[in-house]
Structure 1
Amino acid sequence: MEISALHQKLDVVTAVILGPEDDFSSLEQAVMDLKELFMEASRLNPEAQINKENLLLNTGVAIGPKWAGMCVDDVKRTKRFISGLDKAIQEVRSSKTKGPVHIMYTGTGPFATLVWPLLSKYTPEELQLVLLEVNTVSISSLKHLIKAFNAYDYIKEIYHCDASNFEYTSFNEDIDIVLIECLQHALMREPQVAITYNLLPQLRKDVILIPEEISLNVSLIDMDKKGEYEETGNEEYSDFLEEVDCVFRLDKQTVAGRSALNRQEVFNFDRREVVLEEDKLDRNDLLAITTDIKIFKDEQLHTYDSGLTAPLILADLNNAQKMKGVQTQYIVSNQPGIVSSIIR
């Protein structure tokens, strides 16, 4: 496809993605069209074995290009991250007197999905990208994408690196927004936490972090109410989920508060004990870790909105023995995530 045709298609899908979310079928189609555009321009062959292989890092799993590309399919995730990034760009531009907005995008995958549609809205004089990706095949696909769209002028730098230990020394003071999207639900498996703790201290204090905040909560879920709410939309059943307590938070303030610690200490997160009232346990069906993601301002993902916010089930309360609460701790390792134990 010619460059002009690629840009025309990108213009169309971007307009829908940045538009209202009320027409979900149109939004879903736009996201499908965006993925089709990516597949053609990047030359990614999802069935090639090399594109299915994950990389095992010291701080988590870097998923293979096929799986990274499939993240586009999560419609609300794609829409809200792109919309949130767009709002962050607008905020920086409103206060910046000169020069482009500089974005560091970590974990681009093969498509740089969360920023690429915005190339149809901003010029290279308005937007510059520093791209970080650990997978060699993803970088190759990304370079095909850049060539197909003739987007070279947008690219300040591309680094093939593990962002959890990458030392950035080139344009630290230029970065206005750092976008890190290396995560799964409950911050499991992928190195989002390690990357955030590594990169943020290297950048300006006023840098915008996207997502702004990720919180993990011990929650109780009433499945009967959930079913009624999803079937009828009756607000009477909208309280099917109760967030009892936040047990882990990832945001700028938390990272800054631990910045004086050495690398071993910084990842020694506190154990959290949450007491659960007996009557609440009796009324609900599931004990879970739920995820809330504040991407930027009002662009957010809540429980069940996305694969990123699917609950991590800790116990089926209908079959479990009596309990008093749960103890949790977030662990950074080659298999990061929440570890938990039931308090009897």
Structure 2
Amino acid sequence: METETDTGYFEVLKRATQTIINEPGNLGGIYKVVHELHAVYAELSGVSAGNITDDDIMLPSGKAVSTIKAAHCLLEFQRTAVFVRGIYKAILQLKADFPSQIIHVLYAGCGPYATLLTPIAALFGPSEVNFTFLDINQVSLDAVKMMYDRLNIGEYIKACICTDATTYKIPTDTTVHLAVSETMLNALMKEPQVAVMQNIIPQLPPKALFVPAKITISAQLLNAKEEEKGFTTAGYLPQRILLGEVYTISMQHYATPRAATFRIPDELNGFKDVFLHTRIQTYADEVLTDYECSLTNPKKIAGAKSMEGRQLTFNYLSGETPGFTYEWESN
């Protein structure tokens, strides 16, 4: 039977979700409600985003973060909000495209809170959406199952599967309308986001969606003084030199990255450091850009001083430590 305490927990979830969805410009309010969600999730799951005392799991395709590290992801409030709003908009589209079906969402790398999907339970009933949770860590799956049971929303869960999302095969008698996976670091380094998308996307039916819808990596030359001015002067956009797009992965384009070569200008004029920038479109107009969360912090790759006029080539390495390597044209 649902208790008064359980009802109170779900009311916190509803209020927080409404703030995230309806008040995208209210960053202070979103920060507050995300921390309120963490208090509820930690209480109900037994996992808190405190001191990290557990270990990551190393896979053939990259690093799967530990249960406590996965819990920490929730507290990056802007990241959480942009993903949740993107998923909400994707489900609205899918409900229009599949009007007579329950929208089935596959969450690869759900962590202990199913951070990006749990708010959806406050927006749609179990006759509208249901979830399959995948995680390589059984501790995370046990935590999210306990949390859902205590929130009295266990009926949303279609399945919980402990497996590697880079090799998981969707059963032939199962339709997945939306796949969600946020298994990445900035510049697509170390974690298996590319491998997860390359495995899951080809298994989805026509009109199905994937969140994030698009991830773009670009190479740019930065000037430290310009970047500092961007932090200290309201509304100022730091000047940069765009070298070009290194890689984009999406529902339509998910092949392994090819080599990308760029020429360094003959004069740097203070723009002497090469960075990789990450832009994440979760869905529709929901986008994360530079410095909005750890996933989009520009990543320094190399200094370009004394490399004027030289060619710089990026290659993507898959495997246990995925990510982009670089090589300068030899003299």
TM-score (norm 1): 0.90
Q: Identify which of 145, 148, 170 aligns with 1:146.
A: 148
Q: Do structure 1's residue 277 and structure 2's residue 245 form an aligned pair?
A: no
Q: What code does the residue aligned with 2:294 have?
A: G
CA contact (8 A) 1:76 1:305 kept: yes
Structure 2 match to 1:253: 252
TM-fit CA distance, 1:157? 1.3
Q: Structure 1 residues 323 and 270 mapped into 2: Cα distance closer, same or farther (>3 Å)? A: same
1:170-319 equivalences under 5 Å are 170-172=172-174, 174-235=175-236, 238-255=237-254, 258=255, 267=256, 269-279=257-267, 281-317=268-304
Higher deviation after alignment, 55-64 or 308-317: 308-317
Q: Which whole-Å deviations, capped at 9, do the CAs of 1:131-158 have from their partners, x for residues lacking one?
A: 1111111111111111111222111111
Q: Which whole-Å deviations, capped at 9, do the CAs of 1:287-337 have from their partners, x for residues lacking one?
A: 11111111101100112111001111012346x655613110111110000
Structure 2 match to 1:120: 122
Q: Identify which of 13, 16, 20 aligns with 2:19.
A: 16
Report the Cα distance in structure 2 between the residues aligned to 1:16 and 1:46, rounded to whole angstroms.
22
Report the Cα distance in structure 2 between the residues aligned to 1:333 and 1:83, rounded to whole angstroms.
32
Report the Cα distance in structure 2 between the residues aligned to 1:225 and 1:48, rounded to whole angstroms.
35
CA contact (8 A) 1:56 1:334 kept: yes
Aligned length: 327
CA contact (8 A) 2:265 2:308 kept: no
Structure 2 match to 1:340: 326
Q: Structure 1 residues 42 and 330 mapped into 2: Cα distance closer, same or farther (>3 Å)? A: same
CA contact (8 A) 1:46 1:52 kept: no
TM-fit CA distance, 1:282? 2.7
Say which SS state the counterpart of residue 18 (structure 1) adopts.
helix
Say which SS state the counterpart of residue 253 (structure 1) adopts.
coil
Report the Cα distance in structure 1 between the residues aligned to 2:50 and 2:225, rounded to whole angstroms.
40
TM-fit CA distance, 1:170? 4.8
CA contact (8 A) 1:248 1:330 kept: no
Higher deviation after alignment, 107-116 or 214-223: 214-223
Identity %: 23
Structure 1 match to 2:310: 324
TM-fit CA distance, 1:222? 2.2
Say which SS state the counterpart of residue 10 (structure 1) adopts.
helix
Report the Cα distance in structure 1 between the residues aligned to 2:102 and 2:73, rounded to whole angstroms.
28
TM-fit CA distance, 1:97? 2.2
Higher-helix-fraction structure: 1
Report the Cα distance in structure 1 between the residues aligned to 2:124 and 2:50, rounded to whole angstroms.
34
Any unmatched runs of 5+ in structure 1?
A: 259-266
Say which SS state the counterpart of residue 282 (structure 1) adopts.
coil
CA contact (8 A) 1:323 1:342 kept: no
| Runs of 4+ more than 4 Å apart | 45-49, 320-323
Q: Do structure 1's residue 36 and structure 2's residue 39 form an aligned pair?
A: yes
